[in-house]
Amino acid sequence: MNPAGIRVPFSNPTTYVVTALFAVGLVATAPQAYAQSAASAASQAPNGLWLTTPYPEFSAQAGKSVSVPLNLANRGLPPQRVELGVDGLPDSWKWEIDGGGKPVTAAIAGSDGTVSLTLKLTPPTGDIGKEMKFSVSGKASTEVLKLPMAMTLAKTEPAKLTLEPKLPALRGTAKSAFDFQVDIKNDGQEDSTVNLLSKAPPGFQVTFK
């Protein structure tokens, strides 16, 4: 039976057979060639131990804690134990490295695995506008990792509060109860606790909910 859409001349069957076998051979060998290419690319991937962060330079408010994500990656090596630390910060700065929600001083990166860590920094209140350069270090059995970082201290803006009523004027009878909805907005960089006070004519009772 001939494939649909292909006309086979009776006078030259050999040409048709050779062409069909050649096409089948290409289809059969294509997956093998792709697999060899993928294996070659995988074998050329670099092996080693890396300490990285997506944010090597950043700014933060003086006196406020800031958290920066870190990644300890192992590619193609046996499990590696890495001692963690921070170098180059003054004694007035506070720092810790967290893993799994708790402070850690070392981590083990399994073969072809990545450990997620968090660097927590608390700078002092002074040195506004100053850039502080430091590095996160990792000491393995055969190498020392250094991750250079820089942090700029920004001035903390005080709380800027605004009150905006949704319906500033309501009408009703002397027996009516009026509900005013008020939005409180803080445009500053500090959290603020707000105490609400009211001033109403005699005979009015005001409550906040």
Mean pLDDT taken over the chain = 80
**In the 8-state DSSP scheme, what is residue 125?**
S
Q: How far apart are CA 181 and CA 25, in angstroms?
A: 76
Q: How confident is the model at residue 2 (pLDDT cuts 50, 70, 90)?
A: very low
Q: Does residue 143 have a pLDDT over 70?
A: yes
Q: Which residues pair with 194 in a beta bridge?
A: none
> 72-87 pLDDT, tens per residue?
999 999 999 999 999 9
> 22-73 pLDDT, tens per residue?
344 444 444 555 555 555 555 677 899 999 999 999 998 888 899 999 999 9
| Of 122 and 176, more confident | 122
pTM over 0.85: no
**In the 8-state DSSP scheme, what is residue 157?**
P
Q: How do 57-61 and 144-154 pair as beta strands?
A: parallel
Beta strands in 76-201 (DSSP E): 80-87, 94-99, 102-103, 106-109, 114-122, 131-139, 144-154, 161-165, 182-186
Q: Does residue 17 have a pLDDT over 90?
A: no
Single-letter amino acid code for the residue at 147: L
> 83-119 pLDDT, tens per residue?
999 999 999 999 999 999 999 999 999 999 999 999 9
Q: How confident is the model at residue 10 (pLDDT cuts 50, 70, 90)?
A: very low
DSSP 4-61: TT----TT-HHHHHHHHHHHHHHHHHHHHHHHHHHHHHHHTSPPEEEEE-S-SEEEEE
**In the 8-state DSSP scheme, what is residue 186?**
E
